[in-house]
Amino acid sequence: MAILLHVEVVQRRQSRASKEYIKDLVHTFLANFVSLTPGASLTDDDFYENQELMEHVQCITFCDVENDSSAVVLTECEIKYHIYTLDTFGAETDTMMDSASGEEIAAAEVCALPAEQFHGLWESLVYDSKLKEDTLRFVETAFEFSDRNVDSNIISWNRVVLLHGPPGTGKTSLCRALAQKLAIRLSHKFPRARLLEINAHGLFSKWFSESGKLVAKLFDRIREIVEDKRLFACILVDEIESLAHTRRAAIAGLEPSDSIRAVNAILTQLDRLKHHPNALVLTTSNVTGAIDVAFVDRADIKRLVGPPSDRAAYKILHGCCCELMNRGVVVPKETLLTLHVLEASRFADSEGSRASLQLREVAMEAAAANMSGRALRRLPFLAKALHAPAQVNLIQFIDALNLALKQYLSDIQDLND
């Protein structure tokens, strides 16, 4: 069976060419390649000699659902093209006024998709399990069921996703990346797409005398958006546990009891969205135990998102080092081996593998300490700022990464003591 390869093509905003024309252009260009690596992208640097591509295309990314890293042979692939432009306007904050206190609350952020700010986010997230692919497939299946009018009384699905796990493991980023990916993949059905991020923590971190009304107003606005059946709407509720926290505080008499009503209103309103086949609810939580059982039950897919394993940590640090070499921060540009190549050589020590093996040591130590993806991505910055000479080569930089990691672990230890 042929491998399905999705080729995502970002068309330049100023290009007026038709999608069909861009598709032919890219297809002809790809005939120059024998194999491609899923997750890889081609930009100006890779096709600057092709005038037509330069004029119309900003970036070409390859993704296949089965395989996230090893190369695929083009003649064995069925290629699906997705041609789109990126929205550059950024997010718009939807504010609401609590008329009793006069305080203004940022209730939601709305942004048109696919957005420039989320470009490449999907590819930058590294997980060992098939978390990204599974989540994407789940949502695609939910939309297929809706398309085929599968009776939801017989097979129930709500188009609600819950990602939970420790802070900094990429839950919010994954939700945003998923929304962007779906906006691209489902554009034949939904030519327009929006991401609405509800600030649950902001709405409930403090009691506003009119929380109930604010929730109602917020969902009036969301309903207005989802009424457009040709628009795909992703509603992201970060830190959903803050709803449960408010409920508990109200029951304990620490908050006015009508705050329970406001929280219940959010849950009911989220529930109602399931009647809109163009709406998807994405939620995240740092603490699974504290989430409302009523809510957990509604989510079709609940996935634990943990800190990167040593393999994922290596991939993340590998990507960081390559970026710094590409930008001339670490010079000269040298080859860092991928994990596949290291494994194939059984981690044999040689001139060409030394830097990679040292980087792997750092990755293994970071993973053993359960370092979050967020902390890991910050490590190269700390290494350059505090532990590297002004002119730094790759081996020196990996030494600096090691020192930065040691410092991080000792700072964490001090905090825990």
Ligand X SMILES: Nc1ncnc2c1ncn2[C@@H]1O[C@H](COP(=O)(O)OP(=O)(O)OP(=O)(O)O)[C@@H](O)[C@H]1O
Binding site for ligand X (CB under 6 A): 124-127, 167-173, 284, 286, 308, 312, 316, 373-374, 377
Name the residue type at position 348. Answer: A
* Residue 368, token pair as written in the block: 């053993």
Residue type, 264: N
Closer Cβ to ligand X, 87 or 241, answer by number: 241
Direct distance between the N- and C-terminal alpha carbons of the chain, in angstroms, rounded to an integer: 57
The three-class DSSP label of residue 113 is strand
Six token digits for residue 93 = 């904050």
Three-state DSSP at 186 gives: coil
Helix (H) or strand (E) holding 246: helix 241-251
- Residue from 363, 379, 380, 398 nearest 128 by CA: 363
In terms of CB distance, is 107 or 125 closer to ligand X?
Answer: 125
Nearer to ligand X, 275 or 327 (CB): 327
Question: Which position's Cβ is nearest ligand X?
Answer: 373
Stretch (H or E) spanning 407: helix 394-416
Distance CA 175, CA 178 (A): 5
Distance (Å, whole) CA 152 – CA 277: 11
Nearest to 403 by CA among 370, 372, 366, 368: 366
Residue 362 Cβ vs ligand X, minimum distance, rounded to whole Å: 16
- Rounded to a whole number of angstroms, the minimum distance from the CB of residue 372 to ligand X is 6
Q: Residues 6 or more apart from 55 whose CB is under 8 A from it?
A: 12, 15
Q: What are phi and psi of 103, to 5 degrees?
A: -80, 145
| Contact by Cβ (8 Å): 130, 269 | no
Residue 174's SS3 state is: helix
279: nearest Cα among 225, 221, 211, 349: 225
Instruction: Spell out a b/e string for 127-150, using b for 16 or more CB atoms within 10 Å of the CB, else e.
Output: beeebbbebbebbeebbebbeeee
> Which is closer to ligand X, CB of 53 or CB of 316?
316
At its nearest, how many Å lie between ligand X and the CB of residue 306? 9
Collect all residues with Cβ–Cβ distance below 8 Å to 13 and sequence separation of at least 6.
85, 86, 88
